[in-house]
Structure 1
């Protein structure tokens, strides 16, 4: 499943998208265009989306999603949040392709 690049008006809209994927793991990448480590990890994140086709992958630009970023307590980029059934189940901070892949394998 390709990475979905999303912009949300507020946290409620974000959670509505999570509800659309209740039956699967959702990995959310909080990144920014100006963030070097975010740009480094981007092709790895896209490759994981190709590999784990039963997992939903979302990318949120923190500058375009300030309300959601703040509401979810994201303060560093990149931050990867793992959601299942509308609940946050884990977080990986930093550009760690291996750590993200291991977390997906563990949670899926």
Structure 2
């Protein structure tokens, strides 16, 4: 599976309902730490998506400037913020460019 760019709240709601685990990367195009960690997240997601145990994980990105209402609803106050949803419920968050914590967050959802 790949990282899906979520452009609407409806698409976000559909993904959270459809997939048992959704990992959301909330970012902003102007965010320096987001730019710095983006290749690391992409490499980790690609590696995880190739692993059978992550087959049911839906990886998504939302631009906080494009979806301000959703960002507020999710309580995003800094970028990047990685949020885990399990069975439609919001779970843990990692705030900041912390690759090991992000990987641990994803693994914890399985």
TM over 0.5: yes
Unaligned 5+ segments in structure 1 are: none
Give how far 1:89 is off.
1.5
Query: Is the 8 Å Cα contact of residues 81 and 90 (structure 1) preserved in structure 2?
Result: yes
Number of aligned residue pairs: give it. 104
- Residue 24 of structure 2 is aligned with which of 25, 28, 44? 28
Alignment RMSD (CA, Å): 1.3
Structure 1's consecutive aligned runs of 4 or more residues displaced over 6 angstroms after TM superposition are none
User: How far apart are 1:18 and its partner, in Å?
Assistant: 0.9
CA shift digits 1:76-107 (9 cap, x unpaired): 11100001110012110000011101121222
**Counterpart-to-counterpart distance in 2, 1:75 and 1:21:** 25
Among 59, 62, 65, the alignment partner of 1:63 is: 65
Q: 1:92 aligns with which of 84, 91, 94?
A: 94
Q: Which residue of 1 aligns with 2:14?
A: 16
Query: By how many angstroms is 1:7 displaced?
Result: 1.1
1:49 to 37, 45, 49: 45
Q: CA deviation at 1:13?
A: 4.4
Cα distance in 2 for partners of 1:44, 1:14 equals 23
Q: Aligned residue for 1:2?
A: 2
TM-score of the two chains, using structure 2 as the length reference: 0.87
Partner Cα distance (2:12, 2:59) in 1:
13
Q: Distance in 1 between matches of 2:107 and 2:18?
A: 21
